[in-house]
Structure 1
Amino acid sequence: MLLLTCTMHANGCYESIISFGDSLADTGNIKQLTFKSNSQPPHFLFPPYGETFFHKPTGRCSNGRLIIDFIAESLGMPLITPSEVIRQHGAIEKGQGVNFAVAGATALDSSFYEAQGVANTCTNVSLGVELEWFKIWLHSIYRTQSDCKNFLQNSLILMGEIGGNDYNHPVMAGKSIDELKPYVPLVINTIVSAINELIELGAKTFVVPGNLPIGCSAAYLTIYYDSDEVEYDNTTGCLITLNEFAEYHNELLQIALNQIREVHPDVNIIYADYYNAAMQIFHTPIKYGFTNGALKACCGAGGPYNYNLLVACADPTSKSCARPETYANWDGLHLTEAAYEVIFKSLFQGPYTTPQFNSLCPTSHIQARDTSSSLVQSF
């Protein structure tokens, strides 16, 4: 098997990757946190999660690699170490990347949702908590302010995706999309505040993802199935109102990012258009090899979209498809490795970032590498 890798790290683009976010970026923190607390393990710590690439569950909410994994590989770096692995098993060397993303995490603090009567059964971690973890780690490795700034100036900061669960959890609790609209400016302000704090610490290059088209999620399609209150896009089968909500979030986020650019012209703020990169798949799934479509989950317990709110993927009564590479949706809420790879290529080797990622870190040195000789970290 061949991977696209490049020598950009060696050529000085980025020395490390620092990641924040939720299950779209978590490479194992939820696994470590679960073991640490002796709590009931979530379903994605069991097979068939991880079956395609790692051949075992790693804490990633997919059958294989995530976008962050493809980014690391493309930059010639090892897969990014979860922060909880570092915290529980010892510090890593200077210059290496760290991933603070946690599955289920929200941008807003858990206390906000508790006040709204919304429970997060996965974790009480928010972006603010992840940022505090990061600062503790940073100052444990780099003792002076100048050392911190030098490290961050040469690092690529991935801000998520974060914010999706700020809407997922309330919807699962029965709140309507109209009830969630006032949350959006609060979520955006939280993301912006975190970016500004990281800029003050010395960070110079950020990738800030927008939200995915949630109206194309098998989970949402199941929740709203046969509802008179929703309208479907005839070209994709996705829910129009929910996708418009995701676009509303993304529009406010881009306005806020433009404001940061004006205040900090020396900082690279890269907007990653997850929404439109993913919509390519939903418009023409066959083009990308998804012969079993883009809306039906590979792993689930039946129903029109193979998603059941009461029976999660990995439950003994659920079933997993034989060829996940032919599905875009993995478990109803998350995508397959194959879909994440399409999105990654569209973003970091294509036109779906603003400004284009290639313009800041040219990919002219991309070369093929045999994965059998590479070190794979599965944590």
Structure 2
Amino acid sequence: MTSLRSLFLVGEIGGNDYIFPFIFGRTIKKIRPLMPQVVAAITRARCMLIEEGVVDLVVPGQFPIGCTSLFLTLFQSANESAYDPRTGCIKPYNVFAKYHANFLKKELQIMREQYPHARIMFVYYYITVMSIYRTPKHYGFYGGTLRSCCGGGGPYNLNTSAICGHTGSTACKDPSAFVDWDGIHLTESAYHHIAKGLIDDGFTSPPLLL
């Protein structure tokens, strides 16, 4: 088998498997049992790549979905304890994302034992993005951390009747000042800081650069 020396970043996988059921009314309690299936699919995909010769593989976790303007809009709560007082994000959905990361990391350790010749690196997307949400101005984001740049109005600039790109929506003048682009995806500037964090700040385990 020929080794492929390129760095493979495949993911993040599994986000839509959780997000769409949430949007259509499934609760965290009902979706959590799906996690072993989602993580197993992720693991199988990575194993197939290694079997094809990949030796440097980056496996990302999930983003903190409780900070997205989509979830903040759809799952608003009158219960203040549901929100992180530091960031304004919805705590239960972020706890779910962290639970996924812990589950995935355990499976990756099994993969490392199965394929000792491969470098299987876990990417802490959650920690990387949360560092931005906690100190947005440090990264140059002044447009409102939890508001989307492109949307149709409302407290978080997300209106399900006028989502980004549809009639009634508008985009901000300076996307680089925003973290959230359209309610669920981040802006190019946010992704830039995430990439920088993975390369320079050690948000991978083991480290991306030796």
Q: TM-score, normalised by structure 2?
A: 0.96
Match of 1:255 among 100, 106, 112: 106
CA distance in 2, matches of 1:209, 1:339: 16
Aligned to 1:232: 83
Matches within 5 A, 1:1-379: 146=1, 149-150=2-3, 153-228=4-79, 231-359=82-210
The answer for unaligned runs of 5 or more in structure 1 is 1-145, 360-379
Q: Say if 1:230 and 1:239, in contact at 8 Å, map to a contact too.
A: no
The answer to whether the 8 Å contact 1:224/1:230 transfers is no
Higher helix share: 2
Superposed displacement of residue 201, structure 1: 1.6
Deviations 1:167-200 (A, max 9, x none): 1110111111111100111110111111112211
Q: Assess, with a 3 A threshold, how the Cα gap between structure 1 residues 307 and 230 changes in structure 2: closer, same or farther.
A: farther
Per the TM alignment, residue 230 of structure 1 is displaced from its structure 2 partner at its CA by 6.8
Give the Cα separation in 2 of the matches to 1:274 and 1:344: 10
Instruction: Give the counterpart letter for 2:71 in structure 1.
Output: Y
Can you list the C-alpha shifts for 1:180-236, whole angstroms capped at 9, x where unaligned?
A: 100111110111111112211211110100000011011000011135497000000
Aligned mates of 2:33, 2:100 — CA distance in 1: 11
1:234 maps to a residue whose letter is P
Q: Gaps spanning 5+ residues in structure 2: where?
A: none
Partners of 2:80 and 2:145 lie apart in 1 by 23
- Distance in 2 between residues matched to 1:167 and 1:326, nearest whole Å: 28
Contact 1:230 1:241 in 2 (8 A): no
Name 1:102's counterpart in structure 2.
Answer: none
| TM-aligned CA distance change 1:182 to 1:341, over 3 Å | same
AA at the equivalent of 2:119: N
Per-residue deviation, residues 82-107 of structure 1 (Å, max 9, x unmatched): xxxxxxxxxxxxxxxxxxxxxxxxxx
Partner SS, residue 242 of structure 1: helix
CA distance in 1, matches of 2:77, 2:117: 50
Please list every run of at least 4 consecutive aligned residues from structure 1 whose deviation after the TM superposition is greater than 3 angstroms. 226-230
1:319 positional shift: 1.2
* TM-score, length basis structure 1: 0.54
* SS of match in other structure, 2:82: coil
Separation (CA, whole Å) in 1 of partners of 2:108 and 2:78:
36
Q: Which residue does 1:41 correspond to in 2?
A: none
Judge which range, 250-259 or 197-206, deviates more.
197-206
Q: Which amino acid aligns with 2:155?
A: P
What is the rounded CA distance, in whole Å, between the counterparts of 2:62 and 2:130 in structure 1?
Answer: 12
Q: Decide which moves more: 221-230 or 179-188.
A: 221-230
CA distance in 2, matches of 1:205, 1:323: 36
User: Is residue 300–residue 313 contact of structure 1 (8 Å, CA) maintained in 2?
Assistant: yes
Offset, 1:351 = 1.1
Greater C-alpha radius of gyration: 1
**How many aligned residue pairs are there?**
210
Q: Secondary structure at the match of 1:271?
A: strand
Tell me which residue corresponds to 1:366.
none
1:236-272 Cα deviation digits (max 9, x unpaired)? 0001100000000000000111111112111000111
Partner of 1:375: none
Contact residue 208 and residue 269 of structure 1 kept, 8 A = yes
